[in-house]
């Protein structure tokens, strides 16, 4: 009986985080104590432990550069792919590590060959880099008629059926859609999409799928075998706690031979892994910290606890700020919220000029960076939740925004 009780106590203890979430975790990070990182989603923040591991890799390379680049780093990277593939549930041969989503998007879009009557679809909330890359393609490789933007509003971003119906209406009109690009978790506004349903639908239409999952890994559970995308990218430095910059690039086996990195080097015409591995001499240390970040997370809590804490904090913080500002949150259905939330700004912020004035005021005088956007004729900010933050952080930021607005001299709009 005593053994059973002991086992129960051990299981009970293991079910709770090793550290309590919130400010008790701040000493594990290198953030300035006067800075509230309400924008963790943009660049992430690596723990001190990760910085230490980064330096270890760098010193190892310096001790014997030839051995490091010709032997050791290749072994390290192969081991990393195997470890990471278990975390995202895919074949290690189907993923490589690259610098960031930008590099991956460019590699894929500039590698695919299109016929003159084939089109690419994307949504208006796509990340700016994606839009600019498509703009480049429309002038240098394709024509503007081959790249079609689909407009989403506050209803379609949180109703998968409506989103797919609107997309199908476009498909019916233009025909010959070869590729569609969409987010797993969009940047701003921040929306967690039901990509499992979307992927099944587009595959049934015979359309290739390119998923910008920049905000996904480390923020939500990621099962690539279950999702079965054609192309998938996710930055590990945003939510997984790795050093900047590093990114997972997954490509389905039968498509790998079609895709080449932007830089052509000694791996060309070899395997998918070899071609994306050696792109010239570089520091691989940030890539290798992915393994250490996975270890670090286990010292904090199990993955589900990390996901849930950030998800619930994002929801609670959204309601808190909306109440403080007498406004509202963009997403009413919580299943479309991940670790970020979108809150309508106070009513006085009703033009792009006013939004930009507030943005400058916050970053220059209050040391607060708050991403802002106009979406569907309203003005919103995006907040990020993280394991080292607590609800009172958002209350502090909410008050700062109100204080900043109260002293800003807004000029009347000229018409």
What's the confidence (pLDDT) of residue 5? 42
Residue 163 half-sphere exposure, CB side, CA atoms within 13 Å? 24
Mean pLDDT per 10-residue segment, the chain (415 residues): 44 51 96 93 95 97 94 95 97 96 96 90 96 89 84 95 96 92 97 97 96 97 97 97 96 96 90 90 95 96 96 97 97 95 96 94 93 95 97 96 87 44
What's the confidence (pLDDT) of residue 3? 53
What is the C-alpha separation between 47 and 52, in angstroms, rounded?
A: 9
Query: Three-state SS for 157?
Result: helix
What's the confidence (pLDDT) of residue 321? 98
Pairing of β 231-235 and β 147-150: unpaired
Phi, psi of 364 (to 5 degrees): -85, -35
Structure tokens at 43: 């660049």
What is the C-alpha separation between 354 and 360, in angstroms, rounded?
A: 10
What is the C-alpha separation between 415 and 407, in angstroms, rounded?
A: 24
Report residue 140 CA to chain centroid gap.
Answer: 28
Pairing of β 177-183 and β 119-123: parallel
Q: Which ranges in 2-142 belong to alpha helices (H)? A: 2-14, 40-43, 48-63, 65-67, 73-88, 101-111, 128-140
What's the confidence (pLDDT) of residue 197? 97
315: Cβ contacts below 8 Å, ≥ 6 apart: 334, 337, 341
What's the confidence (pLDDT) of residue 412? 53
Instruction: Answer whether CATH 3.90.1150.10 is correct for domain 14-45+302-407.
Output: yes
DSSP per-residue codes, 249-315: EEE-GGGGGG---SS--TTTTS-HHHHHH-SSS---HHHHHHHHHHHHHHHH--HHHHHHHHHHHHH
Length, in residues, of the chain: 415
What is the C-alpha separation between 81 and 93, in angstroms, rounded?
A: 8
Residue matched to tokens 């925004």: 401
Phi, psi of 47 (to 5 degrees): -65, 160
The DSSP call for residue 125 is T
What's the confidence (pLDDT) of residue 94? 97
Beta bridge partners, 148, equal 121
Beta strands in 99-223, from DSSP E residues, in sequence order: 119-123, 147-150, 177-183, 208-212
CATH number assigned to the domain with residue range 55-295, chosen from the 4 options 3.40.640.10, 3.30.70.270, 3.30.420.40, 3.30.750.24: 3.40.640.10
Whose CA is closest to 321, among 336, 343, 347, 349? 343
What's the confidence (pLDDT) of residue 20? 87
What is the C-alpha separation between 382 and 39, in angstroms, rounded?
A: 8
What is the C-alpha separation between 177 and 386, in angstroms, rounded?
A: 39
What's the confidence (pLDDT) of residue 14? 43
The DSSP call for residue 99 is S
Q: For the chain, what are the domain ranges?
A: 14-45+302-407, 55-295
Structure tokens at 384: 């990020």
Yes or no: say if 123 and 149 are a contact pair by the CB < 8 Å rule. Answer: yes
């Amino acid at each position: 009986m005593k053994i059973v009780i002991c086992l129960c106590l051990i299981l009970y203890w293991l079910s709770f985080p090793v550290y309590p979430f919130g400010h008790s975790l701040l000493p594990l990070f290198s953030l300035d104590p006067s800075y509230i990182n309400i924008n963790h989603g943009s660049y992430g923040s690596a723990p001190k432990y990760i910085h230490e591991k980064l330096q270890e890799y760098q010193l190892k390379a310096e001790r014997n550069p030839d051995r490091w680049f010709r032997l050791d780093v290749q072994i390290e990277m192969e081991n990393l792919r195997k470890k990471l593939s278990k975390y995202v549930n895919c074949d290690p041969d189907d993923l490589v590590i690259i610098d960031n989503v930008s590099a991956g998007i460019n590699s894929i879009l500039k590698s695919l060959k299109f016929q003159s009557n084939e089109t690419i679809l994307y949504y208006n909330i796509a990340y700016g880099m994606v839009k600019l890359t498509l703009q480049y393609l429309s002038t240098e490789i394709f024509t503007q008629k081959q790249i079609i933007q689909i407009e989403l509003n506050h209803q379609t971003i949180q109703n998968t059926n409506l989103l797919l119906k609107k997309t199908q209406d476009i498909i019916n009109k233009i025909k010959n859609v070869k590729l569609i690009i969409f987010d797993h978790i969009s940047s701003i506004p921040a929306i967690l999409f039901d990509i499992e349903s979307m992927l099944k639908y587009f595959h049934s239409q015979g359309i290739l799928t390119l998923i910008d999952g920049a905000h996904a890994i480390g923020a939500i559970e990621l099962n690539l075998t279950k999702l079965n995308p054609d192309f998938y990218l996710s930055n590990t430095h945003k939510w997984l706690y790795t050093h900047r910059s590093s990114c997972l690039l997954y490509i389905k086996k039968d498509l790998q031979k079609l895709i080449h990195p932007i830089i052509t080097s000694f791996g060309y015409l070899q395997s998918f892994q070899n071609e994306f591995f050696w792109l010239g001499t570089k520091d691989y240390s940030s890539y290798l910290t992915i393994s250490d970040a996975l270890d670090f997370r286990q010292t904090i809590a199990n993955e589900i606890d990390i996901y849930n804490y950030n998800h619930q904090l994002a929801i609670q913080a959204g309601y808190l700020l909306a109440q403080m500002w007498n406004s509202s949150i963009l997403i009413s259905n919580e299943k479309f919220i991940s670790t970020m939330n979108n809150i309508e700004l106070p009513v006085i912020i009703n033009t792009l000029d006013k939004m930009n004035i507030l943005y400058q005021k916050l970053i220059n005088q209050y040391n607060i960076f708050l991403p802002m956007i106009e979406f569907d004729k309203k003005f919103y900010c995006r907040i990020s939740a993280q394991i080292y933050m607590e609800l009172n952080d958002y209350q502090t930021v909410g008050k700062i925004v109100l204080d900043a607005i109260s002293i800003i001299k807004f000029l009347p709009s000229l018409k």
